[in-house]
Amino acid sequence: MDIATLIGLIGGSILVLSAIVMGGSALIFLNIPGILIVVGGTIATCFIKFSLNDVINSMKVVMKAFMVKLEPPTDIIIKMVGYAKIAKKEGLIALEKEDPGEEFATKAIRYLSDGYDEGLIEDMLNKDTRLTVQRHTVGQNLFKGMGDSAPAFGMIGTLIGLVQMLSSMSDPSSIGPAMAVALLTTLYGALIANLICLPIADKLSMRSKQELDNKNIIREAAIGIARGVTPMVLEESLKIYLSPKNREKMTTKNKGESKNE
């Protein structure tokens, strides 16, 4: 579970609700027609911009903003270097017994144990990576689109409210409440866009980049193992994906393990 996403959503909601409650009755901020216009219109635009399958799949992708299942890059490098050592000592066929646990890494190890040449391994893993990025991009674009549409429908709701208000100008006492209701849809649109849709799109983009980095590490490791690169050289080449701080930590850890051995 990604605690940061929950903290942001819950914390932001609490802050907004607290400000509303401290300013008076919270019920004056509830306007059902306005909610229908903003929420309904925003969802409707998703089905216009994207196919039904894209919308359904994007709802699955959004869980990546809340659920974190990605391995740290350092763990992946250590694991792949371990497979390189096994392949060096016992041959590629020995990798058949290994179970990385993660789907992409399992494919890479299976290709190696089945004796695929490095070119074919690279092509198949690259294709898998491209399709994954495409799926993630659709999910990100959908929430960015919702973030763009929500304020627009908020403005549409405001204009509808203003028209209704101006049509009843004969009763001055109703102008104030009608104006407040008209402005509520703008508030709804701004909140949906800036507290939910756009932050989720950004979080999905970050998750996609992290997953892409992990896949690149696995792909390069698999190609290196297929080429017969030594585990030490492979490890050094994969450390490029790590930050300087994590590279130093990994080097220190490896030195400690070497002394213990």
Mean pLDDT estimate for the chain = 86
165 located within any domain: yes
Q: What pLDDT digit, counting tens, does each position of 115-128 carry?
A: 898 899 999 999 99
Q: CA-CA distance, 88 to 77, in Å (whole number)?
A: 16
13 located within any domain: no
pLDDT(67) > 80: no
Is pLDDT larger for residue 246 or for residue 107? 107
- On whether the CB atoms of residues 204 and 64 are closer than 8 A, the answer is yes
pLDDT confidence of residue 260: 47
pLDDT confidence of residue 254: 61
Q: What's the domain count of the chain?
A: 1
Helix orientation angle between 231-238 and 73-90, rounded to the nearest 10 degrees: 160
pLDDT confidence of residue 259: 47
- Taking residues 40-68, what's their average pLDDT? 84
Q: Which domain holds residue 39?
A: 31-72+121-260
66 located within any domain: yes
What the block records as the tokens of 91 is: 């041959």
- Taking residues 136-150, what's their average pLDDT? 91
96 located within any domain: no
180 located within any domain: yes
248 located within any domain: yes
Confidence (pTM):
0.82
15 located within any domain: no
95 located within any domain: no
